[in-house]
Amino acid sequence: MTLTVFYLLSALSVFSGLMVVLSRKAVHSVLYLVFCFFTIAGHYLMLNAQFLAAVHVIVYAGAIMVLFLFVIMMLNLNLAAEAQKTPWIKISAVILSGLMLLVLVASVKGAEELSAAQPQNDIGLVKNIGNILFDKYLLPFELISLLLLSAMVGAVLMGRKEPQPQNE
């Protein structure tokens, strides 16, 4: 049963991931990406990581993709506006990425198999994530807060068109 669900979800996520790249309309790509995120959230659920799945749906599929949609609709992208690439660029891109894939597959194939980690069924629960986040991973957690703060300062700075004199 679990295995069937796993294969179904995997097939769906690979399919939607491919469609993100292959669709010619940007809005379709975004919708496929939302779908892809939902299937990945399904994978998280199967790993018993409810919290991660919920956050993934709320933040990625919800907030970020809606922003994407807004931006794409505002820009009003269509096929004519797409940047024209010369055939040479396309050919060299295909060759380069094909080589990259070849090297990656070859090197993965030759690697020794690592022993699988012991499955921990309760690792994804909110309580455990909270415990590990504020204990072992405290430093990265605090670093992220600083990163978000400074990114916000930068975004506000660039997003504001006319610097207004402060009123208060």
Dig out the tokens for 87 from the structure.
């055939």
Complex with other proteins: residue 120 or 150, whichever CB lies closer: 150
Complex with other proteins: residue 80 or 139, whichever CB lies closer: 139
Q: Least distance (Å) from other proteins to the CB of residue 1?
A: 29
Binding region for other proteins (CB under 8 A): 103-104, 106-108, 110-112, 114, 117, 136-140, 143-144, 146-147, 149-151, 153-155, 157-158, 163, 166
CA angle 46–65–3, rounded 5-degree value: 20
User: What would you measure as the largest C-alpha separation in the chain, in angstroms?
Assistant: 66
Complex with other proteins: residue 8 or 71, whichever CB lies closer: 71
Complex with other proteins: residue 80 or 83, whichever CB lies closer: 83
Q: Least distance (Å) from other proteins to the CB of residue 31?
A: 23
Q: Least distance (Å) from other proteins to the CB of residue 137?
A: 8
Complex with other proteins: residue 22 or 100, whichever CB lies closer: 100
Q: Least distance (Å) from other proteins to the CB of residue 56?
A: 18
CA distance 91 to 155: 37
Q: With beta carbons less than 8 A apart as the criterion, state whether 52 and 124 touch.
A: yes
Q: Least distance (Å) from other proteins to the CB of residue 8?
A: 25
CA distance 103 to 146: 37
| Crossing angle (nearest 10°) for helices 2-22 and 26-46 | 160
Dig out the tokens for 137 from the structure.
């991973």
Q: How many CB atoms lie within 10 A of CB 32?
A: 19
Q: How far apart are the first and last CA of the chain?
A: 63
